Structure 1
């Protein structure tokens, strides 16, 4: 890094300014960089030249400027740094490549049943990274970041998972460190519902100051709270782990024998509701297959779901409660309305309850947004620093192939 205040340092800062403009606005000519930065044309030419010398940008087209010769348009190279988003859950491991342009690459999918008997964090994630690279037709050497969503909270202080119940073969301890040592690149591990909330914020068009609570209903039940664009994770990463909250007796469902919210609302509980409603067994399995929930199931299930929303209203008072996960989507707007009605009829609250507006894999979506920001930061850092050690690329590729 150049010494602050020196001409070299100033040149790096100008180069970073040009890089931000190219990332924000897309391809620009030297004149375009000068106009948007407010700097002189000679300075803009130097800024662009510095980035070109570092191999960070390339000519991607031409811009007509009247009767004179066309001006070259420069764009950020898309092949310098990639991320891999990974979603590991009880059904499958899904992964997708992420680049700075936000290209829609194919999602690699491997069912849990197809995974090797000897599973583990490094092996599962390495296979997912390799699969995503193959699906996108991209080599491994430019992979710089991996973001993994898991059905567990992650303690940022101890680097431990709270549970590996849905992750056979995984170790709870030093999860990020073991993945980074195995893969040779930066790894971010986060709770799946927290990542889904990141996707929700980007998809739903919230006002900057809005607060929302995302209630994720799947195999179990989880919560993510977004306050003005920041997901609250808590001191130990356990914010939103509401599955173990005890069930208040005799409020909406005096007949229930569940001790906690997971027992009241999880996959096995939904199957029991299905049988009670006369819809037969395996209700949760049918939800995973994409079937909507029958009306009678919704009528029984919604008052129980309301019990999980009330503590959130009392503590957070969010602008909006969002129902996500496979059960939330299967219940649709009808489940949202029945849940709101149960709350309104038995408490003083009258919340706004909606179904998730993320149509695709929300966990992968949140990981993709997280990675796009990290790839951007990596490219900006390269604009002001020296080129990365080329040996690092070979290390990443070799380690991934060994694990895969």
Structure 2
């Protein structure tokens, strides 16, 4: 016997309120009439929910619609953007980038904290975050989302430092987690970039795809059926460790060194490949070297170099495609962005020769701030889940 459950009045109200809040977030200020049209709810129901949301401090009148008609113009209702503030951080070996945003995800302040080797990066980052929070006009941050290299246990959030990261990474995470009034969410930086490409970038029309991250290091974000997959250890997409015949074996203790996919398409490997093709290579210590090399190669039509690079990328990408058949691979990171559509086209052609699965390859469009964008999106979802869920 099947039991049919009906929503209680309070549950129905919560569902309707969340629907209206999501529409105001997605579309901006709306009139009550527009909310009725978009939700299919009755006039009294929309009037009631707007009154509730205004009492909760989540919605306020933001002006009038400006329609030319008899009588007063309709009121526009909008989210109260400063109801809560959030931050996103991108932690690299070279330093930290951060932004502070409002409830809608609009950036209010940003800062760059370079790693100068002076030993006080943790303190400078914490102070920069405080200063950005003040600049945004906020007293506190509801949620901070952080993207950083390494494995993060999806259940506990514990960071597994393989030994390849500076000690200050761990110290900074501990310092940011020390504030009991702020929720801190930490994830692998490539996962956050994948979220940005899915929501804002090249994979907006895809529920299943793989982001192949090509930067100083190499990684992947795997999105299946609209969900980012992290795996049992938080290591889904750690393709830098993928063993490749003839490249030696990677060393997990020292961070992929010794062999594997990382040593064929990392920034350093790309610079070595460019030198072998007689292309100009920026001197060591110049950042970002790999991006500069690829950008020059595309601009100068260095076909032989680009073909060999595409073949290297395709070998690792094809291994992923053969296992999960994503149908779409996005080339992200500084190097993927520098290669653009030219490199993507070459990689797609070579994947087609390696696996019998139709796979489209696209250049990432979320930009160099993809990790930060993904962090802000993640923090925003956490804030709204807390605030909207209790309405």
Secondary structure in 2 aligned to 1:235? coil
Q: Which moved more, 1:157-166 or 1:147-156?
A: 157-166
Aligned partners of 1:17, 1:347: CA distance in 2, in Å?
A: 43
TM, length-normalised to structure 2: 0.79
Mapped contact 1:196–1:362 kept (Cα < 8 A): yes
Aligned twin of 2:373: 365
TM, length-normalised to structure 1: 0.77
CA-CA distance at 1:149 after TM superposition: 0.6
CA-CA distance at 1:259 after TM superposition: 2.4
Aligned twin of 1:85: 88
Aligned twin of 2:184: 187
Residue 133 of structure 2 corresponds to residue 133 of structure 1:
yes
Aligned twin of 1:387: none
Aligned twin of 1:329: 337
Mapped contact 1:80–1:142 kept (Cα < 8 A): no
Aligned twin of 1:168: 167
Q: Which moved more, 1:73-82 or 1:282-291?
A: 282-291
Aligned twin of 1:204: 202
Q: Which moved more, 1:153-162 or 1:142-151?
A: 153-162
Mapped contact 1:79–1:142 kept (Cα < 8 A): no
Q: Render the CA deviation track for 1:359-386: whole Å, top value 9, x for unaligned.
A: 341111212222332333233135x2xx
Q: Which moved more, 1:219-228 or 1:232-241?
A: 219-228
Q: Which moved more, 1:84-93 or 1:67-76?
A: 67-76
Mapped contact 1:83–1:98 kept (Cα < 8 A): yes
Aligned partners of 1:187, 1:8: CA distance in 2, in Å?
A: 30
Aligned twin of 1:143: 141
Q: Which moved more, 1:305-314 or 1:217-226?
A: 305-314
Aligned partners of 2:113, 2:293: CA distance in 1, in Å?
A: 18
Call closer, same or farther: CA 1:290–1:70 in 2, change over 3 Å.
farther
Aligned partners of 1:89, 1:224: CA distance in 2, in Å?
A: 17
Q: Render the CA deviation track for 1:16-67: whole Å, top value 9, x for unaligned.
A: 5654554455334455556655555555444333333333332211346843
CA-CA distance at 1:84 after TM superposition: 0.6
Greater RCO (Cα-Cα under 8 Å, separation 6 or more) = 1
Secondary structure in 1 aligned to 2:326? coil
Gaps of 5+ in 1: 251-256, 385-404
Aligned partners of 2:352, 2:313: CA distance in 1, in Å?
A: 13
Aligned twin of 1:75: 78
Aligned twin of 2:113: 110
Aligned partners of 2:389, 2:296: CA distance in 1, in Å?
A: 49
Aligned partners of 1:33, 1:301: CA distance in 2, in Å?
A: 51
Aligned twin of 2:318: 310
Q: Which moved more, 1:124-133 or 1:93-102?
A: 124-133
Secondary structure in 2 aligned to 1:147? strand
Mapped contact 2:133–2:141 kept (Cα < 8 A): no
Root-mean-square deviation over aligned CA pairs? 3.6
Aligned twin of 2:265: 265
Secondary structure in 1 aligned to 2:244? coil
CA-CA distance at 1:340 after TM superposition: 3.6
CA-CA distance at 1:317 after TM superposition: 1.6
Query: How many residues align structurally?
Result: 367
| 2:242 pairs with one of 235, 240, 245 | 245
